[in-house]
Structure 1
Amino acid sequence: MRWNGQQLGTEEPSALPGLAKLNNLVRSVQTPDFAGVTFHEVLAKSALNKVPRQSEMPFGWTINPYRGCSHACVYCLDPDTPILMADGRQKPLRLVEVGDEVMGTKTRGSYRRYVRTPVLAAWNTVKRGFRITLADGTEITASGDHRFLTERGWKYVQRATDGSQRPTLTLKESLLGFGQSVNEINDPASIIEEVVRTNNGLRILSIEDLGSEIDMVDITTGTGDFIANGVISHNCFARPTHTYLDFNAGDDFDNQVVVKINVADVLAKEVAKPSWGRYPVALGTNTDPYQRAEGRYALMPGIIESLAHSGTPLSILTKGTLLRRDLPLLAEVAQTVPVDLAMSIAIYDDELQKSIEPGTPSAKARLATVTAVRNAGLDCSVFLMPILPYLTDTKAHLDEALRRVKEAGGTSVLFSSLYLKPGVKPWFMHWLQRQHPELVPKYTELYARGQYAPKEYRTWLAARISPLIRAHGLERGREDPATGGIRSKALGMLRNDAGERVAFASDDGSTGARILPSTEQATLF
């Protein structure tokens, strides 16, 4: 794999606090295919993760080739924002295309200077809008996660949604750039290598929350920035496992992805040891192994081959349609070791899915992957997880979801209600406040006593969905009282000969609803 010329410099080390703990870091890279995401490539010392006995997670061994997830979207500007092109013209952001040249900035020696830079990628999303008004009359609309250059460095429009600290714009400080004088640039060559200077007209007078979601666009450039309506604008890049690296559990989970580039080689050595008991291994228990980055790094084929060669059963849970790439390999190894596949498809309303899972494949695309798995001769369960109270728990939504799963060829459905673990709850509640403020009081009451929905709700949910699962022929077994999910009728909750719990959990934090595929080494408890 080649990501030539994409290695990060050290201009903003403070923006990446977690890197201090990555003493095995090889490099940090950005690539046009993943605008807004930074990949930190590391050399892993181990691949297999043994789950502590005291853990609530109902599985014994995992492999997580990635920390964080590149399924997420980017943070952007209003599509009509004028962008300064390399020829001195201004063009609306929505019309800027890959291959265009724009004006950016680059630090040379002690000074930041204006330079030409190519547009490497362009992206669309929907975000809550904020209007920034400057002293010279300049107005610019951006998301709260967008950054602009000030005299004191890059600063975000708004504070982080999860409460973590980050530099934020304040009234009376000044942005850097040309401001309204950008309209007077007649000779673009005259500003190349010109030093970026303070402009008194770019003092911030107000930052106004527009109170609504709007269509936005972002571009990735060779310098990592561009001139938006006369001010210098950043390409915005920067959940609970990320806090170990001092990353936050909200945006950083999406934007700072740690990649264990040698994971397959390390795994091959671990499972070749005589001491390895060929215990079932779960992939997808924390972060998605078939997230978009897997298309670049292609770590999964080596992982699958190493497990199969050692006779180790494996389970894969994913939201990623990239699973289809490896179906021939999975079908082949399934002839010698148990292989259990599952797709996570929680939401079947397209608008809601785009809002809460903006970077993931659509339900239609994931259902097509279920069909592809079945056509490859393998079973495929579907995780209806999490079911969102008051949003996706209506009988009509559940019935339609199950109908589509059955139509796609799904062999069973497993469900659980929303689980709001620490670090995720503030992020989710912020989303709820923006998208469904009328539900905030209900969710506050529902989750007042802990991370799980109360037993009364889980019992009600099971009574509603269980008959529908039976009616569609997708039943696997009895209800799991801990989560409101179901246990496998064939296997139940298992322990292997070593006494380890070997069931599966969903990648969204739900637990106790998936069974790993080793009956030979397990006994019911």
Structure 2
Amino acid sequence: MRWDSQNISSDDAGRLPGLGDTVVRRFDAPEALNMRFHEVRTKSALNHVPGGTRGLPFEWTINPYRGCTHACVYCFARPTHEYLDMDAGSDFEREIVVKVNVPEVLRAELGRRSWRGDPIALGTNTDPYQWVEGRYKLMRGIWEAMRGFRNPCSILTKSPLVLRDLDLLQEIAAVTDVSACLSVPTLDEKAWRATEPHTPNPKARLEAVGELNRAGIPTGVLIAPLMPGVNDAPEQVERIVEAATEARATYIGGQTLFLRGAVRDIYFAWLREHRPDLVPRYEKLYAKGAYVSAAEKRKIELAAGAPWALRTYPVRDRHRGPRRPPVATAPRPPRVIQGSLF
């Protein structure tokens, strides 16, 4: 890995206790201020999703990065940083683990006689196309391995950076199944900047959906999470549905916000700062746990006009535009058995 010494400095001090011996780097870039990137050499690239997990079309995932600079306030993956003796708040956003040897480890794993060629999902935990992927470019090596072994795969991301690798996605599509999904919780600029402060513009994500579909990569849209009082107004949801339809999204899915573990405290702290008027409502909605009740969930999604709650779309007149794509309910995130880092 080659680096421009004028832009990157090595930082050997202050390594975090859950990571052992690592190389710690800082990037001299506005987007990476106050962030550290912990380079590790992982022993495994593939993470197994327990077979008992329902509603998931895959049993294997890859997470080239742990922690995420997107800093989405609602991110369900935040508690995974606690396994590394880091906190789910600022550490998750600023202490990013980079598995620098993921591509070569993946090639070795896919080449094993015992490997059955099962579908592999990327982006199920942290976003593999977060900012630092522009520097490490691990995803190109991962896609090359998928192409080389003709292994079916999929990607979920919030970043149009996925278009950088369109050539490889097309090469994979020529030999096996590959699909993509862009997460677009809101098009409202205020809600976007408040809840996903370091993510790419959601309009650019929808443009990426269109470009991927035009290039032959089946790509859908995920409206998730649906946050009561924040991004669930019917007009907000309808704007996304309309834009996704124009982008020829292969499906539109989503789900209502859930608050597991440390995410609950982080999200409520955000509410008290940004939307104190909503605190009583959330205290009631989430009084019994991480998920709202089934009845409340359906009420919220129907009121928002969420297509996965409505089940069917109105069929448009053929002279007024394309028929809307099918819908899909986003499954709850899997309980992933994370491979050892070392």
Structure 2 match to 1:456: 295
Task: Give the one of 441, 446, 449 matched to 2:280.
Answer: 441
Of 18, 27, 46 in structure 1, the residue corresponding to residue 44 of structure 2 is 46
Cα distance in 1 for residues equivalent to 2:311 and 2:273: 32
TM-score normalized by the length of structure 1: 0.57
Find the residue that maps to 2:306 and give its secondary structure.
helix
**Amino acid in structure 2 at the alignment position of 1:2:** W
Deviations 1:147-181 (A, max 9, x none): xxxxxxxxxxxxxx9xxxxxxxxxxxxxxxxxxxx
In terms of fraction of residues, the more helix-rich structure is 2
- TM-superposed CA distance for 1:348, in Å, is 1.3
CA contact (8 A) 1:399 1:468 kept: no
Partner of residue 386 from structure 1, selected from 219, 225, 234: 225
Distance 1:54 1:243, change over 3 A: farther
The C-alpha deviation readout for 1:239-274, integer Å capped at 9, x for no partner, is: 111101111001111100000000000000010001
Pair 1:20-2:21 in alignment: no
Question: Letter of the aligned partner of 1:42 in structure 2?
Answer: V
CA-based RMSD of the aligned residues comes to 2.1
Check conservation: 2:147, 2:171, Cα contact below 8 A.
no
* Unpaired stretches in structure 1, ≥5 consecutive residues: 74-160, 162-238, 478-484, 487-504, 513-525
Query: Match for 2:215 among 353, 372, 376?
Result: 376
Structure-2 residue corresponding to 1:470: 313
1:37 alignment partner AA: M
Partner of 2:170: 331
- Any conservation in 1 of the 2:65–2:126 contact (CA below 8 Å)? yes
Count of matched residue pairs:
312
Higher relative contact order structure (alpha carbons within 8 Å, sequence separation ≥ 6): 2
- Give the 3-state SS of the residue equivalent to 1:424 in structure 2: helix
Whether contact under 8 Å (2:147, 2:168) holds in the other structure is no
1:406 match: secondary structure:
helix
| 1:468–1:361 distance in 2 versus 1, CA, 3 Å | farther
Measured after TM superposition, the shift of residue 57 of structure 1 is 8.0
CA-to-aligned-CA distance 1:322-359 (integer Å, 9 cap, x gap): 10100111011101010010001111111110011010
- Tell me, in whole angstroms, the C-alpha distance in 1 between the residues paired with 2:300 and 2:278: 18
Which of 262, 266, 287 does residue 105 from structure 2 map onto?
Answer: 266
Does 1:70 find its partner at 2:62?
A: no
Provide structure 2 residue ranges, at least 5 long, that are not aligned to the other structure.
Answer: 315-322, 335-342
Amino acid at match of 2:83: Y
Give the SS at the match of 1:470.
coil
Shift of the 402–249 alpha-carbon distance from structure 1 to 2, 3 Å rule, reads: same
CA contact (8 A) 2:228 2:300 kept: no
User: Cα distance, 1:320 vs. partner?
Assistant: 1.1
Taking the aligned partners of 2:21 and 2:62, their CA distance within structure 1 comes to: 18
Larger Rg: 1
Contact 2:180 / 2:218 at 8 angstroms: preserved in 1?
yes
Matched position secondary structure for 2:166: helix
Q: Give 1:162-181 correspondences, 5 Å limit.
A: none
Q: Whose strand fraction is larger, Structure 1's or Structure 2's?
A: 1
SS of the residue aligned with 1:438?
helix
Shift of 1:310: 1.5
Q: Which amino acid aligns with 1:465?
A: A
Normalised to the residue count of structure 2, the TM-score between the two structures is 0.86
Cα distance between partner residues in 2 of 1:338 and 1:55: 22
Cα deviation, residue 70, structure 1: 2.0
How do residues 134-283 of structure 1 correspond to structure 2 at under 5 angstroms? 239-283=78-122
> Identical aligned pairs, as a percentage?
38
SS at match of 1:21: coil
